[in-house]
Structures are given as C-alpha cells and as structure tokens.
Amino acid sequence: MEFRNEEGGSSISFKPTVLAADPGRELRWLGHVAFSGLMDGNHAFLLEPVAGGTKVTQTESFTGILGIFALLMMDLGASIEASNQALANFVETKIQ
C-alpha cells in the first residue's frame, strides 16, 4: 500500500496487517513506517446502516516514537477527504 502526498509528490510505502475484515461492518488495518514502533498507523472504515443507505466513518490513529509527528508530516484531512470522495464516486457509479 502506498500513501501519496498529491501536492508534493512524496509517498510512504508500507505493508499493512489486516486487523479486522467484517463484510458490511468494518475494515481495519495497521501499517508501519520502516519498522514496528517507529510510526504505526491504525486505519479503519466502519460501516453503519442508516435510512436509505450506509454511513461510512473513516478513522486513523498513530502510535510509536514518531507517531506524535504524524499530523505534522501528513495532511490527513485532505487524504481522508480524497478517499471518501473516491469511495462515494465509486458507489454512485455502481447504483446508477
């Protein structure tokens, strides 16, 4: 998996470990930058049925020695918004 900063063109590659894969409910993984304990990211998509569709909540938390700098090193808001928009576009093309 690769996280790419669209503005600067930089990227971070990692091989995540899937922590939960419950179809229709949750997808969660843990990724490490370089090695476990340096900067670890726990990313999750939680799905919840709502009237007329599904609510998707995306979360990201960081731990490790450099974990506290994650928010300074990456623009997570823009990345999460971009992936949310890509997911919405994909779903909308499938239901038309």
Chain segment 13-61, per-residue pLDDT in tens: 678 899 999 999 999 999 988 888 988 999 999 999 999 888 999 988 8
Mean pLDDT calculated for residue range 65-92: 81
In a domain, 96, yes or no: no
Q: Which residues contact 93 (CB under 8 A, 6 or more apart)?
A: none
Q: Which amino acid is at 63?
A: T
In a domain, 84, yes or no: yes
Place of tokens 């990211």: 41
pLDDT bucket at 88, cuts 50 / 70 / 90:
confident
Distance in angstroms (rounded) separating the CA atoms of residues 39 and 63 = 6
In a domain, 48, yes or no: yes
In a domain, 95, yes or no: no
pLDDT at 84 over 80: yes
52-68 burial, b for 16+ CB within 10 Å, e for fewer?
Answer: eeeeeebeeebebebbe
